[in-house]
Structure 1
Amino acid sequence: MARFTVVQEVDAPAEAVWGALVDWPRHGDWAPLTVVRTVPGPAEGVGAGFVARTGVGPLAFDDPMTVVAWQAPAGDRPGRCEVVKSGRVVHGRAWFSVTPLADRRCRVVWFEEVTVSPRSLTRLAGPVLSLAGRLGFAATLRAVARDVERDLAARSGPR
């Protein structure tokens, strides 16, 4: 099993960052070579589903996910969303939390625990997959932070 955790502080309120993170199709803006589409059913909350298609041409694969836990941030209370990955290539779970901090900032923690098919690949390459995941999601969370901070600045105008 490959596991990794990434932490990113964002200069924006937790509710704004949460809103961006649960806009599932928007993940394709931040994750390289990835397009995300929702599936029929609830758009948010437990039971919401979406599929991330990652790769190019015949080397692309689907990563279907279903939300199994959902608590949006409110006031000082952190938010947390957990998904189960049920694809032919990637299986496991992922979750993120968004914790409000002082001065309208927040901290995002992203965790993944996945197995890649064939499972022997994960056993052999688990440390490499964990490192690649950590580096990839660190870049993704930096992109999320930049977008949300830029959107917030554009809405609030010049200071």
Structure 2
Amino acid sequence: MARFVLTRRSPLPPAVCWERLLAWHRHGERVPFTRVGVARGSGRETGDVVLARTALGPLRFDDPMEIVELVAPAPGRDGLCRLVKRGRPVRGGAVLRVRAVGGGSAAVWTEELRIAGLPRFADPVVASAARLVFGRVLDRLLEP
């Protein structure tokens, strides 16, 4: 599996940082040819499904992600959102964490990806591309 970890510090308080990370529709603003939304539930509870739909000409696929753990940040407690990818072309999962740091917060995005049809030796390339794309998403979400 291709794996990457992104960490960003923000002057935003953890609660605001958390709300921005869970603004699922905004995730697609920086992912080329992709729209992101909630397919089941509110996107704020365990069991809800977030759907990333990618389309480039005739190439189209869905990346449904089920929220399997969700804990909002609170004083003395990190926020945690664990997603499991339930689609066919993209498997794996992601963990989004928010913790208080000084007067602001730190967001950590960890993801593991397996793309159907790609050999394992392509994992470093997939991880590098994903780090670049999702780093832009995270930067945009946390802009003050």
More strand by share: 2
- Cα distance per residue 1:51-79 (max 9 Å; x no partner): 10124232232110000011100123110
Give me the CA root mean square deviation: 1.4
Task: Give distance in 1, aligned partners of 2:129 and 2:119.
Answer: 13
Partner of 1:30, secondary structure, is coil
Distance in 1 between residues matched to 2:115 and 2:8, nearest whole Å = 25
Cα separation, 1, equivalents of 2:119 and 2:68 = 24
Q: After TM superposition, list the pairs within 5 Å mapping 1:25-64 onto structure 2.
A: 25-64=25-64
Q: Percent identity?
A: 39
After the TM superposition, list the runs of 4 or more consecutive aligned residues in structure 1 that deviate by more than 6 angstroms: none
Task: Please say if residues 122 and 129 of structure 1, whose CA atoms lie closer than 8 Å, have aligned partners that are also in contact.
Answer: no
Report the equivalent of 2:111: 112
Deviation of 1:42 after TM superposition, in Å, equals 4.5
Q: Which residue of 1 aligns with 2:77?
A: 77
C-alpha deviations, 1:4-36, integer Å up to 9, x for none?
A: 101111110110111111122221223332211
TM-score, length-scaled by structure 1: 0.84
2: CA distance, partners of 1:123 / 1:19: 35
Q: Is 1:70–1:80's contact at 8 Å kept on the other side of the alignment?
A: yes
Q: Secondary structure at the match of 1:45?
A: coil
Larger helix percent: 1
Q: Which has the larger radius of gyration?
A: 1
Task: Give the counterpart letter for 2:135 in structure 1.
Answer: A
The runs of 5 or more residues in structure 2 that have no matched partner are none
Task: Determine helix, strand or coil for the equivalent of 1:136.
Answer: helix
Matches for 1:84-123 after TM superposition, within 5 Å: 84-103=84-103, 105-118=104-117, 121-123=118-120
